[in-house]
Amino acid sequence: MKNTTTTLKILKELLFRNILNILFFLLAIFFVVILKKTEIGQVEVIFLNVGQGDAILIQQGNYQILVDGGADDTVLYELAKYLPWYDKTIEKVVLTHPHADHINGLLLVLKNYTVGEVYYNPVEYPNLAYEYLKDTYNDILVEIKSGDVLEYEDIYGVALYPFEGEKIQEKNVNNSSVVMLFVLNGYKVLLMGDAEAELEEKLLDYTFLEGIDILKAGHHCSRTSSSISFLSFTQPTVAVCMCGIGNSLGHPHYETLEKFEKMNVQYFVTYRDGNIRFRF
Ligand SMILES: [Zn+2]
């Protein structure tokens, strides 16, 4: 009898101790989850190596902006490396212009993620993917124009082109690219889409572009972009060329890389350097 009472007493004590342990464990998990949710974390920009094409992810915590989506499904694999596993929402998407190497991958992103809005410049251009985008996602398409702002915590993005109120149908659709300046925790990141020298010239009135930190150089570092006058004006510290290895256009053109070297601009090329990530 005495033995049974002692055993019961020990069992009771063990149970009591374990209940406390279990409670403590649950409480710890609760705090970890809550803290993880409230911690916003650093802001980052990642130039995704999607072959010949652009796909640029800007994110802070659970908030993402994706500028272009590359030419194929590579973007899905690259995004999965950086987005939190539980996050299937991309808040904002920007399509700079409807060329295949910018829009095709975006359609797959739209299929696989919940997207808040797709900002674009509604130029006319014969491309099936573009037609599909306009037909299928009309409810989330938003026309973007200079002065429009995308903002969240340490992310401040402003559209510089197309100009508000200006309706120009460029023959060369590269020069209809949406140009965005992002200020990420104070650092200036200029995304040129496929803008060439003609469009660069139109931006020379924006004095706040004098001295930027990162330039996503226009049109995959083609010789027709990143003019001397634009580079002298913006004085980027770093330039990024988004190119696929052995691409048929020969990007990046050596003339552009030479200009970077002459002007002391450090440059990265996605096919050589892979995903290029900056955290601020
Ligand atoms: Zn392109």
The predicted pLDDT at position 169 comes to 80
Q: pLDDT tens, 132-187?
A: 999 999 999 999 999 999 999 999 999 999 999 888 788 899 999 999 999 999 99
- Residue 45 alpha carbon to ligand 1 centre in Å: 19
Mean pLDDT of 255-278: 98
CA of 156 relative to ligand 1 center, distance in Å: 24
* 36 pLDDT above the threshold of 60: no
Question: What CATH number matches the domain at 40-279, 3.40.1010.10, 3.40.47.10, 3.60.15.10, 3.40.50.720?
Answer: 3.60.15.10
The rounded Å distance from CA 221 to ligand 1 centre is 10
Residue 25 CA to ligand 1 center (angstroms) comes to: 52
Alpha-carbon dihedral sign for residues 243, 244, 249, 251:
positive
Gap from CA of 254 to ligand 1 centroid (Å): 17
pLDDT, position 38? 52
Residue type, 279: R
Q: In the chain, count of helices (H) and strands (E)?
A: 8, 14
Instruction: Determine the distance separating the centroid of ligand 1 and the alpha carbon of 194, expressed in angstroms.
Output: 5
Pair of tokens at residue 24: 């403590």
Catalogue the E-assigned strands of 37-98. Answer: 43-47, 56-60, 63-67, 89-95
Confidence at 15, pLDDT banded by 50, 70, 90: low
Compare 199 and 24 and report the one with higher pLDDT.
199
pLDDT (0 to 100) of residue 4: 63
* Cβ atoms < 10 Å from Cβ of 116: 15
Candidate from 20-29, 30-39, 66-75, 160-169 with smallest mean pLDDT: 30-39
Give 229-264 pLDDT, tens digit per residue.
999 999 999 999 999 999 999 999 999 999 999 999
pLDDT in tens, 91-114: 999 999 999 999 999 999 999 999
Report the DSSP pairing between strands 155-161 and 149-152. Answer: antiparallel
CA of 93 to the centre of ligand 1 (A): 17
How high is the pLDDT of residue 166? 86
Tell me, in angstroms, the distance from the centre of ligand 1 to residue 99's CA: 6
Task: Tell me the pLDDT band of 34, cut-offs 50, 70 and 90.
Answer: low
28 alpha carbon – ligand 1 mean position (Å): 49
**pLDDT, tens digit, 9 for 90 and up, residues 182-236:** 999 999 999 999 999 999 999 999 999 999 999 999 999 999 999 999 999 999 9
Ligand 1 centroid–CA 76 distance in Å is 18
Distance between Cα 101 and ligand 1 center (Å): 5
CA of 174 to the centre of ligand 1 (A): 8
Q: Kindly tell me if the per-residue pLDDT of 42 is higher than 60.
A: yes
Between the CA of 173 and the centroid of ligand 1 the distance, in Å, is: 10
From the CA of 127, how far away is ligand 1's center (Å)? 14
